[in-house]
Amino acid sequence: MTCLTLETTSIFLVAVTFFFTIYCFTADRKNLSIALTFFIVSVIAFLIFYFAPATTKRMLKLPFLTHLFRALLVSAAFGFFTVLKFFVKPVIYVFLLFLPEIARLTPTDKFLSKRLKAWHIVSAVILVALMNQFVGGWAQGAGLEFRGESLAIWMMGAVWIFLWAFFYRGKLSQPGTSKIYSFKWVLLIISLLVSSNFIGAVHDFGIREEYRAEYETLLKVSKKQINAGVKDVYVPITELSPKILNQAPWRQIPSAHFANIQYSEYYKLNSFTALPQSMLDDEAAMSRWREGDVQDFLKAAEGREYLSFLAGEMYDKNFRGIPSVPKDDDKAIEWYTKAYELGNVQSCRRLTRIYFLNKKSYFDAGMWFIRSELPFVRP
């Protein structure tokens, strides 16, 4: 539930702070009591987030000010790159070419439309990124994972479209005379074709049959064991990585994860674990695994990107692991680095967190952070 608490609370905090900021930009001073109410609500929301059991369990036991300064640092560093990723997307500028038509068709609030400036909209969008990363920094000690950052960028896009369409009536909303307006549909199509979502959909289309067969096999294997009354269910780890399609209702990892725990609780299982097929086919390896020996898993992980990443997560102090495997920063770094060298960019975030929080090696943390945001920067 930690991730759910973090993301839903983050959305609520951003929404409240966003409306508070917009009101401060536009409201008369005599009505600032309403703005103050928004501020008080946002503080209460933050306190609810702060004391939520699922969140505090994951937080390090640090003083309030230490949390605050760390979260501000994360907000500035990770938030900067989140903003950069948003503003380099062509589609957000192509959208502005449609504003004259939108303005003619969309009812608007005359009070706000007279006061809201273009820089207000840009500031509000930046605020969404900073607030999301601030909440992530408070709870996790590092920036949001890529899934959380993707959610933040979608929220930024919603704010961007909403404010321009409904509350802005400046020069950009006037009928355009430039020739570029004549090509707005062509530019929109091009920007969508080069978007990560479309590229991801093309990738998934290419593996659709293989992924479907793999997914159905996983369901069949798990249901067969469940129907047979098996309480410790094992399924094969798959290494296909769809970018848009939904994956199985569990996470394919050898250690505990809230999705696997919820799946186990639903079917009244003791555990639900994913392991390499080579181990599932080797009864001796499975016997050693049940006894707490992970050497067969580590052997299978050599030279394989996703398995190397999972091996690093197994030793990572910031994640649930396996009771028989003691947490070890050096081993986590070793396996995360192997995963990165095999092409796994997500491992950079994990290495950033380990060096920043555990090793206190801020230079190394900074280098891995840069690599996480600029994947073409190789070690």
**Domain CATH code at residue 363:** 1.25.40
Domain match, 161 and 218 both: no
Q: What is residue 228's predicted lDDT score, i.e. its pLDDT?
A: 92
d(CA 200, CA 177) in angstroms, rounded, equals: 36
Domain match, 251 and 177 both: no
Helix (H, G, I), strand (E, B) or coil at 233: strand
C-alpha pair distances (Å), 165 with each of 21, 63, 117, 144: 18, 43, 13, 29
121: in domain: yes
DSSP at 161? H
DSSP at 144? P
Q: What is residue 103's predicted lDDT score, i.e. its pLDDT?
A: 81
Helix (H, G, I), strand (E, B) or coil at 103: helix
Domain stops at, among 168, 194, 220: 194
Q: What is residue 4's predicted lDDT score, i.e. its pLDDT?
A: 41
- Tokens 């439309």, located at residue: 113
Q: At what angle do helices 362-373 and 346-353 cross, to 10 degrees?
A: 160
d(CA 143, CA 137) in angstroms, rounded, equals: 5
DSSP at 264? H
90: in domain: yes
Residue type at 161?
I
- Tokens 């509350």, located at residue: 167
Q: What is residue 2's predicted lDDT score, i.e. its pLDDT?
A: 39
Domain match, 135 and 102 both: yes
Q: Residue 161: CB partners within 8 Å, gap ≥ 6?
A: 95
CB 273 within 8 A of CB 234: yes
Residue type at 60?
L
201: in domain: no
Domain match, 248 and 157 both: no
CB 321 within 8 A of CB 310: no
The tokens describing 4, both together, are 């759910």
Domain that holds residue 229: 209-373
Domain stops at, among 137, 160, 194: 194
Question: How many separate domains does the chain show?
Answer: 2
Domain match, 54 and 16 both: yes
Q: What is residue 1's predicted lDDT score, i.e. its pLDDT?
A: 35
Domain match, 137 and 187 both: yes
Domain match, 149 and 20 both: yes
Domain match, 238 and 187 both: no
∠161-164-165 over CA atoms, to 5°? 75
Q: What is residue 5's predicted lDDT score, i.e. its pLDDT?
A: 45
Domain match, 333 and 365 both: yes
Q: What is residue 279's predicted lDDT score, i.e. its pLDDT?
A: 92
Domain match, 150 and 53 both: yes
Domain match, 188 and 232 both: no
User: Quick count: other Cβ atoms within 10 Å of Cβ 39?
Assistant: 17
Tell me the backbone φ, ψ of residue 32, rounded to 5 degrees. Answer: -65, -15
CB 125 within 8 A of CB 156: yes
Chain-centre distance of CA 246, in angstroms? 15
Q: Which residues pair with 358 in a beta bridge?
A: none
Domain match, 155 and 6 both: yes
Q: What is residue 55's predicted lDDT score, i.e. its pLDDT?
A: 52
d(CA 42, CA 118) in angstroms, rounded, equals: 25
204: in domain: no
Q: How far apart are the first and last CA of the chain?
A: 35
Domain stops at, among 146, 168, 194: 194
**Positions in the chain whose pLDDT score sits under 70:** 1-39, 41-43, 45-64, 108-114, 140-141, 245-250, 255-256, 258, 375-379
d(CA 119, CA 125) in angstroms, rounded, equals: 10
